[in-house]
Structure 1
């Protein structure tokens, strides 16, 4: 531990904040052990720790996803920051940034605001001298290299396991089921949605899932190969029967294409079609770099049927050049009233929207190549994540309030719908700003065609995609199913929907409350004897 002359005097009596972080490193880097080491350092130096910033289970490769460090940087740069030191266990806990300048930049922001970052377990001094600066730069490079090397080792390990037939991933897809086995191959049980193995030596295999889903997959292949029914028509057919995909959502043509082109349905385990190293972007790998294991698990369809489907798909798109499918897209966007991926999938003269994404790296890139600029905002991943977060927060508040009042609440598999007391079905949807009409923001609303809830809750997000502006509670029958409506930000401009507009979700508590009913002769209804726990005049 550093003991340079003058350092003890300069640190003694100063107030400090401690920053600790743990991702999936060894136990010696647990946040509690870091705190103990920092506390020992602070006691020796005479430093008082007044604040703790902790990122537990967070990667140090990037600043993204580390709320504690972000808050620390904001507090350190505040005009009235309460501490003048930041104590960190070592350089790697500050971050394993792939660019050493990024790590130095965040430390510089603190130093510029008068806050010094001190690494308690490092052997170099913290006086800002040339030797300390050189050692710190070397440590930053070593921390970044550790992450790169670890990422490479993890990828190679997963690649080898995939070659042996073990599943590497989360959801296997419609009609398939993940099974957990031990190191000897003994079955331990199924893995359900979002469940993960917790023992390192355990492995995951895939087997055929629900019999009804397996039968439907085989029916899709039969429709496509024997009856020459296209993917869009198959999706429409399934939605017309009220069937949902593996995520509990309506079928789309892309979902059908994924099933008809997935080799996992003939028992072949394929891994590393795409890869992503650390915080880099996803990229496609050539087929020669894929990990393949044929016969890894029981097939849902035979190879003859699968190959027939492949030939049909190849004849539709593979023989068309990039220039040809771009020309078709250009003709489409100049003649169509509505341009969207959904409309592209419907057009018989065009390949699917997924084909454009695969060939050109995204539908927006294809639009740019033909000189077309969409007149609406395309929802990016950051908007999707913000929308999901707002939806979960609203549902969480509603569920907590309803259960607190004694109601029973069940949540759907896709986590968008709740059922209250096995009677009232409420679906939640978030609508960010998608397009502008004469510079006035609007939000699109559509009643779901594949389900019929009793209440549809629409949360409108602001332009920053963070704060809900208001809530619309639409009862069944108030919107025509499948028809797009538009809501404006101006009060009174969205008639006749203003009667369904509310400031927050508390209105749902009133709509779900039971009330006493009386017969026409004034006698009490036989079903009104259940009472609300907080109200003597209403039922539960």
Structure 2
């Protein structure tokens, strides 16, 4: 039996909440809206408000602008509705703690607004319904957690094989795109990404002028004993400029001196506690 409100006479006002974290066509906003539209038509609802969070994770409500706006609008009585229609539990959220999902559902229903998961077969029995919903919320959260672990494991595997995973490479270095046979394809400019899943990214030496400046910085630090501030002063005095044409400063010199990638090492998955693993990037 479908999770639904017992139908009354007349059309009831509802809002729809749509969410997707990726470009997965199965859960596209259009597909969700179409399913909800058909559900609303069959159950005497009229969707009068739409809230959507495209490209937003369901693990937390932080950053989900429209979800938070919907809560505010309902609690502060800015809109008048009887129900919130959601495609399924996972679109409402993939919370690690299922009780968090129950809490947000409670906030809505405390205001007399029913939360309906249109595509989930939730029993109408008042005894069975909470337990069934709890299982669905737990499954949604577990899926997200397992997916995150698999993605992290995949990234670590690629790093161990010498491939670069995200973020600016640092001064004097460039990202190079290679195919699945490690054959050179092109240099990647700032903001550019690979387009084929079989392609990989490796770090390579950057422009000759930048390499020259990196060597000069280490020479002044190691052999002349200059601190970061004096190094930046000397670079600017000699006419050397940063890659965007601006002056060198202490912070930029510091970022060069602590960049372990110049040694052929690559730190991935750095955390604020403990010692992060250092992966050898090899000769790729």
- Taking the aligned partners of 2:217 and 2:88, their CA distance within structure 1 comes to 56
Map Cα deviations across residues 188-240 of structure 1 (whole Å, 9 max, x no partner).
Answer: 32222222223322211111111111110011111112212122211232344
State the aligned residue count. Answer: 284
Contact persistence 2:3–2:122 (CA under 8 A)? no
* Greater RCO (CA < 8 Å, at least 6 residues apart): 2
Contact persistence 2:161–2:281 (CA under 8 A)? no
State the partner residue of 2:275: 286
- CA offset at residue 82 of structure 1? 2.6
**Structure 1 pair 249/55, CA: closer, same or farther in 2 (3 Å)?**
farther
**Structure 1 pair 239/70, CA: closer, same or farther in 2 (3 Å)?**
farther
Secondary structure of the residue aligned to 2:48 is strand
Pairing of 1:310-329 with structure 2 (within 5 A): none
Greater CA radius of gyration, 1 or 2?
Answer: 1
Pairing of 1:335-354 with structure 2 (within 5 A): none
Map Cα deviations across residues 367-394 of structure 1 (whole Å, 9 max, x no partner).
Answer: xxxxxxxxxxxxxxxxxxxxxxxxxxxx
Unpaired runs of 5+ residues, structure 1, are: 276-282, 298-540
Contact persistence 1:162–1:168 (CA under 8 A)? yes
- Taking the aligned partners of 2:225 and 2:133, their CA distance within structure 1 comes to 65
Equivalent residue for 2:100, pick from 102, 106, 119? 102
Asked if residue 67 in structure 1 is aligned to residue 65 in structure 2, the reply is yes
Unpaired runs of 5+ residues, structure 2, are: none
**Structure 1 pair 33/203, CA: closer, same or farther in 2 (3 Å)?**
same
Contact persistence 1:236–1:251 (CA under 8 A)? yes
- Taking the aligned partners of 1:247 and 1:20, their CA distance within structure 2 comes to 41
- CA offset at residue 92 of structure 1? 0.8
Contact persistence 1:179–1:191 (CA under 8 A)? yes
Secondary structure of the residue aligned to 2:163 is coil
- Taking the aligned partners of 1:128 and 1:70, their CA distance within structure 2 comes to 30
- Taking the aligned partners of 1:38 and 1:202, their CA distance within structure 2 comes to 38
Secondary structure of the residue aligned to 1:41 is helix
Equivalent residue for 1:165, pick from 146, 162, 165? 162
State the partner residue of 2:42: 44
Asked if residue 261 in structure 1 is aligned to residue 261 in structure 2, the reply is no
The TM-score, its normalising length taken from structure 1, stands at 0.49
Secondary structure of the residue aligned to 2:7 is helix
Asked if residue 87 in structure 1 is aligned to residue 74 in structure 2, the reply is no
- Taking the aligned partners of 2:196 and 2:44, their CA distance within structure 1 comes to 43
State the partner residue of 2:283: 296
